[in-house]
Amino acid sequence: MSADRAGELFAALRSEAAKFASASTLSVEDVRQELYLMCLEHAMGEDGFDPERGDARRYIFGRLWGLIERWQRMESIPEGDDLWDAPRSMSVEDVLIHGQERAAAEERLEHADRKRQRDLRHLPTLAALVAVGAVSERGAARLVGSKSSRLRQRLRDLRRNADPTAFIGGA
């Protein structure tokens, strides 16, 4: 019974298949087969059709258009475009070299972070906060209730007396 109903619906919509096929890379026969499957699903009630939203013809054509959009014709790439000259993927050697370079870069970053942590370890907390930029000099002065000139002098003394690499905010 549902096959008869699907056949009737397909016969009514079949003539539109060529229009849909012209906008895609699918052949007319492929579009007709998809259209028939959609008609079968509709006749069996397994397609999610809601009669309050419109008629069956519009619903099926909307679903068919969604299929066609996935199979639309692509524009041709103009001559002289460098897109085709680039390799599609990296060679095995390039992947290995890239991986080694990334591992070396990560190691350098970790080493720099460990060094900075060692350098900040012996600074007073307030100086360390200023050094990493967490607190401005003016904000630090307000924090401890001191004059900013006195705090700046203390920070200069720390910069001068400490190892030049120890005070990151130096220079």
Q: Which of 9, 142, 122 shows the shortest CA–CA distance to 63?
A: 9
Q: Which of 32, 60, 34 shows the shortest CA–CA distance to 47?
A: 60
Of the chain, the percentage scoring pLDDT greater than 90 comes to 7
pLDDT tier, 133 (very low <50, low <70, confident <90, very high otherwise): confident
Q: List 24's β-bridge partners, or say none.
A: 72
**Residue 171, pLDDT above cutoff 50:** no
The predicted pLDDT at position 164 comes to: 45
Q: List 72's β-bridge partners, or say none.
A: 24
The predicted pLDDT at position 101 comes to: 92
pLDDT tier, 74 (very low <50, low <70, confident <90, very high otherwise): low
89 vs 64, residue with greater confidence: 64
The predicted pLDDT at position 16 comes to: 86
Among the residue ranges 5-9, 52-56, 91-95, the one predicted with the least confidence is 91-95
The predicted pLDDT at position 23 comes to: 82
Among the residue ranges 14-23, 69-78, 112-121, the one predicted with the least confidence is 69-78
Instruction: Look up the pTM and report it.
Output: 0.43
